[in-house]
Amino acid sequence: MVRAAVLPAVGAPLEITEIDLPDPGPGQVRVRLAAAGVCHSDLSLSNGTMRVPVPAVLGHEGSGTVVAVGEGVAHLAPGDDVVLNWAPSCGNCHACSLGEVWLCADALSGSADVYARTAAGVDLHPGLNVAAFAEETVVAASCVLPLPDGVPLTDAALLGCAVLTGYGAVHHSARVRAGETVAVFGAGGVGLATLQAARIAGASTIVAVDVSPEKEDLARAAGATDFVVASADTAREIRALTGKQGVDVAVECVGRASTIRTAWDSTRRGGRTTVVGIGGKDQQVTFNALEIFHWGRTLSGCVYGNSDPARDLPVLAEHVRAGRLDLGALVTERIALEGIPAAFANMLAGKGGRALVTF
């Protein structure tokens, strides 16, 4: 029995309770969590913006230590420090055959499995495959990546989602080049990672945009050269900071129609707008045909930073070891399982960066 945060139904409060976690079966690994980040996607799963089988244990951004392996697992052993990968690629679908593993058709198939039970015997599903909001979890071996040397185990949880997403948005999706100008909309966990990634890429001007003026210090510490409080004048302010042209690249990390539209309006003619934020189906963004032609901008979605975790994790680790990437700077509070509901409330209120559950 281990303690976990259980979502009993969509829209219901999380319940901190003990669950019955089985030993790992063939091809599975049991991991003792060191930390789990509280991501906006977890909030979206809990409130129904994104679909998840319930009851479920949420949490998809985690790191920990292997405590047991099932039959057939040869690349991992008890005692190995690891990062959880919530979207493992199958290697067989059309997207994987194209090398676009972040779009794997079967990446989330494990979320429908029953992986544990409550003390009363109720079946539980692993939210986004890995169920990181628990002291321990059992996952497919494909959901586990060895942690490279030189990365603190607790902070390494952030590599599992926020950093892969933010770094990938800059380096894989928008492909920011040295000297370009960048605007990042939203200075939460993913936004702060995106700002650091833009700095690593050598962007000349990096504008952070957020509804909360209190986030300016966080944003500047992450690499922002300028900070704009979101308003109806945001696009005009960004153009004023970039010679009236607009930025080369805008990265939207909020998932709101109005913010996506503003990011588009803040991008120069011929520039790139990348949308990382996950919005609801009710968030409709409108463009007219003439402006699409006239501005010549590229608007693209970005899933998991268009990243291949197995390829990118060693690259990120090298940035950490070299001091270019500061994982701890993304964390604004370290909490216990009981603190997750308050962390959700802070996200809704636009407060703070990443909350990190530590065990």
pLDDT reported for residue 196:
98
- Of 284, 182, 318, the closest CA to residue 241 belongs to 182
- Residue pair 223/215 in contact by the 8 Å Cβ criterion: no
Q: What's the pLDDT at 350?
A: 87
Q: What is the pLDDT of residues 269-309, one digit of tens each?
A: 999 999 999 988 899 999 999 999 999 999 999 999 999 99
Instruction: Tell me what pLDDT residue 30 has.
Output: 98
Q: Which residues of the chain have pLDDT under 50?
A: none
CA distance 275 to 252: 5
Alpha helices in the chain (DSSP H): 40-47, 94-97, 162-168, 189-201, 216-222, 234-241, 257-265, 289-295, 309-321, 340-348
Distance (Å, whole) CA 307 – CA 83 = 15
Question: In whole angstroms, what is the distance from residue 33 CA to residue 135 CA?
Answer: 5
- Whose tokens are 């509280």? That residue is 38
Provide the pLDDT for residue 50: 86
Q: What confidence score (pLDDT) does residue 157 get?
A: 98
Can you give the pLDDT at residue 248? 98
- Over residues 83-103, the pLDDT tens digits come to 999 999 999 999 999 999 999
Report d(CA 246, CA 267) in Å as an integer: 5
Any idea what the Cα angle at residue 185 is, between residues 182 and 188, rounded to 5°?
A: 120
